[in-house]
Amino acid sequence: MYNARMRTHLGLVILCVLSAARVCSSTSAPESPRKFDCRSREKETFSCWWEPGSDGGLPTEYRLFYTQERLREVRECPDYVSAGANSCFFDKKHTSIWAEYTMTVVATNALGNASEEFRITDVMEYVKPDPPVNVTVVVNSSAPSPFLEIRWKSPPDVDVRTGWVTLKYELRVKQNDSKEWKTVDIGSETFFNFYNVYPGLLYMAQVRCKLDHGKWSEWSNTIFAEIPKNCKPTVVTEISFFYLDHQVEKIPLLMGIYILLLKRNVVKQCLLPPVPGPKIKGLNAHLLKSGRSEDVVNALMGNQNFPPVAAWTEQVEDFLLVSDSDEWLLTDSFASEKNKDIFIIPAGLHLGLEIQCRDLSVDLNTWEKTDDSKEEAKSNFLNMEPINLPVEKHEFLNGEEMSIQPLANTSYVDIQQHPTLTDYSRVKEVNDNTILILNEEEIPHGLDAEEVKSEVSVPDDYSRVKEVNSDVVFLEKGDSADKPIMPLESELSKGFCLKMIASGYVDSGPAFSVK
């Protein structure tokens, strides 16, 4: 009897113990919260969330305490509600950017508590704005090609007016059936014109934004836009509705092709106009090919009245001389010389020339005699600036007298046949290294060579020296106040002789040196 009762008691005790144990294992102190994260939408407030651990089967309360970098006191979370469950919201008063927060979340229930510490070094690291709002897109169909006008607004809470935040945007667009987005960095603008679109396609676009160096927001709502197809094809399709059947459509098409074939040259001209080659005014490409240099030169240099080359070559061998005496008539041998030697005598100096300028003598009397001819010559003067080409009479080797006639608007001198003019004083200017032309306004008469020699200031005559061409001579106009550029040296008594070869090289006679 005792055995049965004891077994029952033992059973009950075991049962009790077991049941007690079951009740004990279902409740415990809570686990510490895990996973802490925060977010600031506009750099003025922020919220933090934690993930609770196991609550131990009992109602568990969570509290958050924090300290700030410089604050010694411990504060509790000001708002557990606004940001949802298991969260803490810090409003403007409690938010310090660039400051370090140390958060402690404590989980408490009837059986105990558990806490975890989290550190936020800088709220700036958690800045992530809301996406932009009011994203709109308009298809702009203006010429030359359609484009999308995309606009948006900054997220509502972000303050862009005080300079506290700098918002940057990013836009992405893609075709509806394409997989790849085209992304564009926008900067701080709130609109963008997207040109890379084609008619007839459907496009979708999204925008997102970023505050300072924070994280990008989520993409905004997607907006769609379809680019309409071109108008021209629609007109054709409309016309086609007038045809009863599609066969009839082909007739105008065939006719059109036939006409095009007939007029293919015209069409080719229209569609593919020949690209004009470079054109130089007055120059003919064929001219270049033909290779006649004179023509080319003419074409290039315009309609300048250069003397006919032939005429010039005729006179190549002619020489300009100032001479009063027969001995200055040069022999024919000179005429046969091919070089274009031209002798120039400055006005006022009576110089005799020999081809090598060896013997120069001035015959003053000769000059005087030629007064009349001077008048003549004077009348032939051209008072042109800068070209003053006197009409000169020159004696030439073969007795021909050449005169230098200025050409209009050129610096080229045309030598023509002319009645003899022994007075070279009118030689005003040399052009093209061939002719020296001296502008003589006052022809000193009776000027002695000796005078020339002694008076360096005889440059009165050389005051005519106005200009040197090719280092030959300085020619100066009229004004005696002008100093000659070249000094006259005593050798001038012999006058000078300038022999100019067409190439421009000048030999100066012993008479003077050019400085």
Partner 1 sequence: IRAASSCTNGQTGCHFLSLANLFDRVIQHSARMHGISNDLHSEFELYFLPSKNQIGRVSRNCHTSTILTPNGKENAQRIAREELTEVILKLLVAWREPLWHFHQNMAQHREFNNFSSNKSLEMSEMVHELRRGVQKVVEKMQMLGVINSSLGNLGSPEALLASDRAEWRLMNDYDLLYCFRRDSNKIQNYLKILKCRIVPEHGC
Residues in contact with partner 1 by the rule CB under 8 A: 36-37, 43-44, 69-70, 92, 95-100, 102, 117-122, 124-125, 159-164, 166, 212-213
Q: Pick the closer one to partner 1 by CB: 5 or 93.
A: 93
Q: How far is the CB of 124 from partner 1 (least distance, A)?
A: 6
User: Which candidate, 509, 469, 498, places its Cα nearest to that of 485?
Assistant: 469
Q: How far is the CB of 88 from partner 1 (least distance, A)?
A: 14
The token pair that represents 342 in the structure block = 């031209």
Q: Pick the closer one to partner 1 by CB: 154 or 425.
A: 154
Q: How far is the CB of 66 from partner 1 (least distance, A)?
A: 13
Q: Pick the closer one to partner 1 by CB: 43 or 464.
A: 43
CB-based contacts of 378-381 (< 8 A; 24+ apart in sequence): 378/426, 380/405, 380/426, 381/426, 381/428
Q: How far is the CB of 190 from partner 1 (least distance, A)?
A: 14
Q: Pick the closer one to partner 1 by CB: 5 or 92.
A: 92
Q: How far is the CB of 43 from partner 1 (least distance, A)?
A: 7
Q: Pick the closer one to partner 1 by CB: 214 or 484.
A: 214
Q: Pick the closer one to partner 1 by CB: 124 or 204.
A: 124
Residues with Cβ within 8 Å of 268's Cβ and at least 6 positions away in sequence, in order, are none
Q: Pick the closer one to partner 1 by CB: 159 or 314.
A: 159
What whole-number distance in Å separates Cα of residue 274 and Cα of residue 268?
9
Q: How far is the CB of 270 from partner 1 (least distance, A)?
A: 49
The token pair that represents 282 in the structure block = 């007055």
Q: Pick the closer one to partner 1 by CB: 120 or 421.
A: 120
Residue 387 vs residues 201, 315, 439, 471: alpha-carbon distances, Å:
74, 21, 10, 18
Q: Pick the closer one to partner 1 by CB: 118 or 343.
A: 118
- Give the full edge-to-edge strand order of the sheet including 101-109: 75-76, 61-68, 101-109, 112-120
User: Which candidate, 411, 450, 441, 437, places its Cα nearest to that of 346?
Assistant: 437
Query: Residue 124: what residue type?
Result: M
Q: Degrees (nearest 5) of the Cα angle 33, 35, 39? A: 120
Burial class (CB in 10 A: 0-12, 13-18, 19+), 228: exposed
Q: How far is the CB of 38 from partner 1 (least distance, A)?
A: 9
> Which regions of 276-349 does DSSP assign to beta strands (E)?
342-344
Q: Pick the closer one to partner 1 by CB: 97 or 259.
A: 97
Q: How far is the CB of 63 from partner 1 (least distance, A)?
A: 18
The token pair that represents 116 in the structure block = 């975890």
Residue 469 contacts residue 436 (beta carbons within 8 Å): yes
Write the DSSP assignment of 209-228 as a string of letters. EEETTS-B------EEEEPP
- Give the full edge-to-edge strand order of the sheet including 401-406: 394-395, 401-406, 413-417
- Give the full edge-to-edge strand order of the sheet including 223-226: 182-187, 167-175, 202-211, 223-226
Q: How far is the CB of 132 from partner 1 (least distance, A)?
A: 19
User: Which candidate, 492, 501, 495, places its Cα nearest to that of 472?
Assistant: 501
Q: How far is the CB of 189 from partner 1 (least distance, A)?
A: 12
